[in-house]
Structure 1
Amino acid sequence: MALEATDGMLVSIMLPGKKVEKMTLFDECKKALSTDFDVLKGQRAKDALNILYKFPFSNGNLLWAELKYVDYEEINDLISDNNNKNYDAFVFVDDINIPIFKSNLALIAENIYDVTALSPKIFIFNNELILQPQFPNETIRLGRKN
C-alpha cells in the first residue's frame, strides 16, 4: 500500500492490484453534500458574491464589530437556536480553485468537517446571515446585519 499526496489537496491510496480513484477535498465535499449541491457559474456566481459583499468587509475580513454575532461551539446548536434548518446557503472558499457552491444549511451542518476542510477561510452565507468557522478554536460565528 502506498499513500500519495499532491499539492496538499489530492490524496490517493495505492493498493496492490486495485485501482483507487483520486479525489480532491472539494470532490469529497461535493460527494458529502450531493443530495443538495449546486456549483454556481456565470451570473449566478456573481449574484452570490453580490450577496456576500453586502456584509461589511475590510481587506478580505469580515468586520464583526459591525454585525450582531454569536459564537457557537456546535453548529447543530446554531441550527436549532435559529430555526435555520432549511435555509439555502452559499459557500465561498478563499481558494481560486474552488467554485462558489450552494447547499442547504442543515446539510452543511451535517457535513461541516468536509466543508471546513476546504480552507481555513470560508464564508457560509445567504441574504439573512453569514457564518464563518473561527480557527483554531473550531467555533462557528453567526453574524446578522445590524
Structure 2
Amino acid sequence: MTEIDVHYNAADKLHHACRLLRKAVLGADAQVVVQGPDELLDALDDALWRFSPADFIAHCKADAPVHVRGRSAVLLGLAEGESPAHRQVMLNLGLPLPQGFERFDRLIDVVGLDDEERSAGRNRWRHYSDRGYAITRHDVGARAA
C-alpha cells in the first residue's frame, strides 16, 4: 500500500518542493514524478535550476523526449494516460487528488497556506483516510517558525 506523507502549512511550496526533491534524489537516490498545474511545474523547473549551485537535481518536463525522461530523476508532470517508467515517489503540488498515486510506493502531498489549498488538502486527506492509507503528517510551518 502507498505510504502517504502530508506536508502542510508550506508558506513557499516551490522552495519546499525543491528541498524535498533534493532529499529524495540526492539523499535517497529515488525517482520522483511531480504532479501539479502546468504553471506551477514551469515555475518548479526554473526554481530547480537556481535552487542550489552545489546540488544539481536532474529533471525534465513530461513533454521531453523519451531518452531525456529516462535519464532524469525527476519528471515534472505526466501526459494524460501516461504511465511513468518507475513507481517510487509521487510529489503532489496540485489541488485535486493526484491521479494514479496508488500505483506509487510513496506519495508526498504538499499543502500551502491559503484557504483553497487547505480545503483541497482536507478533501485529499479524507480520501486517503477513508481508503485505509496510513498518513504521516509534517507541519512545515512549525519547523519554519
- TM class by shorter chain equals under 0.3
TM-score by length of 1: 0.25
- Greater RCO structure (CA 8 Å; 6+ sep): 2
Q: Which has the higher strand share?
A: 1
Q: Give the structure with the larger helix fraction.
A: 2
* Largest Rg, 1 or 2: 1
